[in-house]
Amino acid sequence: MISDLNSMNELDKVEFIQKVGWVYEHSPWIAERSWDYKPFHSLDDLKHKMEIVVQNASLSEQLQLIKSHPDLAARIDMAEASVQEQSAAGLNSLSPDEYEEFHALNNQYKEKFGFPFIFAVRGSDKTVIKAEMKRRIGLDHSIERNEAIKQIHLIANHRLSDFIK
């Protein structure tokens, strides 16, 4: 954990990437490019600069970012932050029937969009998440890609807020 933003601004590029490269799931390139925007004047400034990096990324980079996220309620190896976030939302304690329903929804979603369903689960529960999955399956591809990126930013913002005090 970094105690404050001043400490973050004093890091060299390699240290910066090591400290915050995990914030965007398996995508340290976002931290690497964000470093060029130093110094960060506030936590919100850092978050905003990281969002700009994603916004300015190519479509293929954005899609790779989305695809780097695990399926919700998946029983696979995933980043520790994802494990904690999904556990807090109750996705690690689904009944067999609930697991099968989430698995089917994930597959339906991925078949339509070509990437996993992304949702910032903090403060939600499995009922809310399942309803959101069903709603978003009906969206247009470009609208849903933008929604996935928006959710990724929410996840990263939560992680940064927890990490930098």
Q: What is the C-alpha separation between 159 and 114, in angstroms, rounded?
A: 26
Contact partners, residue 141, CB within 8 Å, separation at least 6? 112, 113
Rg (alpha carbons) of the chain, rounded to whole number: 16
Q: What is the C-alpha separation between 118 and 162, in angstroms, rounded?
A: 20
* Length of the chain (residues): 165
Contact partners, residue 56, CB within 8 Å, separation at least 6? none
Residues known to be catalytic: 69
Alpha helices (H) in the chain, listed in sequence order: 5-10, 13-20, 28-34, 43-56, 59-67, 80-88, 96-113, 126-137, 141-163
Q: What is the C-alpha separation between 104 and 21, in angstroms, rounded?
A: 32
